[in-house]
Amino acid sequence: MNVADTERAATGLRASGYDLCASEQEADVVLLNTCSVREKAERKVFTRIGEIRSASEGHKKVVGVMGCVAQLEGDSIFQQSSTVDLVVGTRATDRLASLIKRARDGERKVMDLAERDPDDSWDVSPVERHSPHIAFIPIIEGCNKFCSFCIVPYSRGRERSRPANLIVDEINSLQRLGYKEIHLIGQNVNSYRPRVETGLEGFAGATPFSRLLRAVAATGMPRIKFTTSFPRDFHPDIVAAIEANENLCDWVHLPVQSGSDRVLKRMRRGHTRSDYLERIARIKSSKRRLALTTDVIVGFPGETAEDFQQTLSLVEECSYDSLYIFKYSKRRGTPAADFDDTVSESEKTERFLELENVQRTSQEKVYSAYIGRTLSVLAERQSSRSESDLTGHSTCHKVVNFAGDESLEGEILNVLITEAKTNSLYGTIVNSRA
Ligand code: SAM
């Protein structure tokens, strides 16, 4: 989501006459786009501001903080760092150029934490996209779930869905530009609920999101991925839509956070272990093999050794393709910040490592099972390890490396998997175009 926001910010700024430069030293304006999901990310911002200022002594520049930390901390950023000129909240990206102008004209402490304008542009210029082959498309912003640990509803506000016709139009123009893969993104993509039907007419489905999936599949974009899904809103019709449309990729990211009902309740997730496992059963019983990934928080306040055992057993049972593990980080203003933080830092680290170990064993089995199979891979770029190799992702979102030259970049290729590592696969091209 932050990458997508940066792409939009760069698009708007370039349209206003700004240009991106290669280093922060030579820049007249430096903007830090920030994340506040965990405390560590938040702290890094202030270290970076100090580094930027000291690296550019003598060169007068505007330094701004945008994104989630800006939205949450507001005015207090100016107190914490007297060298910041600009604070730009999560819904003010479209107003960046005029805010920068005010700061450059000499106004001190320029701040905008206001709501998005109704006619805000979602345009992203292809020059600013992070890849010439893959594009991120936000379909929903914000969050209404209020999980007790999570800062997102406060930093990004309530859920707002973009009309389906705008999403479909964007995909059509990306396809004309030669993009091969899009990712529908949002904090909870499957909570998608636009105010208007436009663009969904003629597409049946049990939820607006599964209708959207069918509408975007009909564009013919070769590969469509979506992330993140929220378990409570994960309707089986999503799997039915994937089964009926090959260009909807075979990967679901469904964060569980914990395997213990007691912890899930205190997290206010709105799902139990068995609700979650029911959704997993539908995913696993699909006639397509769907890759499954998740997020887990270890060391949530009050998490006992027994609760943690239940997380371990759930992770083993689900046999995830990949797992993102987070140590609980207290976020000021969230309900969990008032809970007694009973799990020490060293216990959090122990649990993190134990879970990582369990996942590694299970993941090695998952990855080895790909040996001998042919995957459809989008060749994204030269591998950083070897000049004669290319790297890309499969439709099941595995990193796949294979021998090939740059003329194949941007092509979708069939790759026969010959070797599996813990987090990546290696193979050979079996025909040049999938
Ligand atoms: N909306 C998605 C959901 O809740 O299912 C996930 C969005 S969140 C930006 C990404 C991940 O960060 C979460 O799934 C969670 O595992 C982790 N996270 C969020 N708040 C956290 C906290 N206070 N401490 C540690 N990890 C956290």
Average pLDDT over residues 341-355: 96
User: 118 CA to middle of ligand 1, Å?
Assistant: 28
User: 333 CA to middle of ligand 1, Å?
Assistant: 15
pLDDT at position 145 is: 97
pLDDT tens digit sequence for 167-185 = 999 999 999 999 999 999 9
User: Can you give the three-state secondary structure of 174-229, one letter per residue?
Assistant: HHHCCCCEEEEECCCHHHCCCCCCCCCCCCCCCCHHHHHHHHHHCCCCCEEEEECC
pLDDT at position 39 is: 87
Cβ-in-10-Å burial (0-12, 13-18, 19+) of 325 comes to middle
pLDDT tens digit sequence for 273-282 = 999 999 999 9
User: 40 CA to middle of ligand 1, Å?
Assistant: 14
Mutate which of 297, 331, 343, 355 for ligand 1 pocket (most atoms within 8 A of beta carbon): 297
Q: Is the CB of 149 under 6 A from ligand 1?
A: yes
Mutate which of 37, 69, 267, 351 for ligand 1 pocket (most atoms within 8 A of beta carbon): 37
Give the contacts of 177 (CB within 8 A, at least 6 positions apart). 126
pTM of the model: 0.94
Q: Is the CB of 38 under 6 A from ligand 1?
A: yes
pLDDT at position 310 is: 98
In the predicted model, what is the mean pLDDT of the chain?
95
pLDDT at position 434 is: 52
Atom of ligand 1 nearest to the CA of 145: 4
In which band, very low, low, confident or very high, does the pLDDT at 339 lie, cut at 50, 70 and 90? very high
In which band, very low, low, confident or very high, does the pLDDT at 118 lie, cut at 50, 70 and 90? confident
pLDDT at position 433 is: 56
Atom of ligand 1 nearest to the CA of 297: 16
Atom of ligand 1 nearest to the CA of 143: 1
Question: Which of 265, 262, 329 lies closest to 299, judged by CA?
Answer: 329
pLDDT tens digit sequence for 378-421 = 999 999 888 899 999 999 999 999 999 999 999 999 999 999 99
pLDDT at position 341 is: 86
Cβ-in-10-Å burial (0-12, 13-18, 19+) of 240 comes to middle
DSSP state of 248: B
Q: Which two tokens stand for residue 326?
A: 């987070």
pLDDT at position 305 is: 97
User: 150 CA to middle of ligand 1, Å?
Assistant: 6
DSSP string, 76-120: HHHHH-TT--EEE-TT-GGGHHHHHHHHHTT-SSEEE--PPPTT-
pLDDT at position 422 is: 92
User: 323 CA to middle of ligand 1, Å?
Assistant: 13
Mutate which of 159, 264, 295 for ligand 1 pocket (most atoms within 8 A of beta carbon): 295
Atom of ligand 1 nearest to the CA of 255: 5
Query: 426 - beta bridge partners?
Result: 401, 419
pLDDT tens digit sequence for 47-95 = 999 898 888 777 889 999 999 999 999 999 999 988 999 999 999 999 9
Average pLDDT over residues 109-136: 90
Q: Is the CB of 37 under 6 A from ligand 1?
A: yes
Torsion, Cα of 397, 401, 407, 410 (10° steps): 10
pLDDT at position 70 is: 95
pLDDT at position 40 is: 85
Q: Is the CB of 155 under 6 A from ligand 1?
A: no
What is the rounded CA–CA span in Å between residue 135 and residue 202? 26
Q: Is the CB of 147 under 6 A from ligand 1?
A: yes
In which band, very low, low, confident or very high, does the pLDDT at 121 lie, cut at 50, 70 and 90? confident
pLDDT tens digit sequence for 283-311 = 999 999 999 999 999 999 999 999 999 99
Average pLDDT over residues 184-201: 97
pLDDT at position 431 is: 78
DSSP state of 163: P
Whether the per-residue pLDDT at 113 is higher than 90: the answer is yes
pLDDT tens digit sequence for 35-52 = 998 888 878 898 999 898
Atom of ligand 1 nearest to the CA of 334: 23
What is the rounded CA–CA span in Å between residue 162 and residue 316? 37
Inter-helix orientation angle 208-217/236-244, to 10° = 10
Question: Which of 259, 250, 325 lies closest to 294, judged by CA?
Answer: 325
What is the rounded CA–CA span in Å between residue 77 and residue 175? 41
Sign of the C-alpha dihedral computed for residues 413, 414, 417 and 423 taken in this order: positive
User: 187 CA to middle of ligand 1, Å?
Assistant: 9
pLDDT at position 432 is: 59
User: 98 CA to middle of ligand 1, Å?
Assistant: 33
Average pLDDT over residues 312-334: 97
User: 65 CA to middle of ligand 1, Å?
Assistant: 22
Whether the per-residue pLDDT at 24 is higher than 90: the answer is no
Q: Both ends of the chain: CA-CA distance in Å?
A: 30
pLDDT at position 42 is: 78
CB-hemisphere CA count at 13 Å for 298? 26
Of the chain, the percentage scoring pLDDT greater than 90 comes to 86
Instruction: Identify the helix (H) or strand (E) that includes residue 368.
Output: helix 345-368
Average pLDDT over residues 109-127: 88
pLDDT tens digit sequence for 224-244 = 999 999 999 999 999 999 999
User: 256 CA to middle of ligand 1, Å?
Assistant: 10
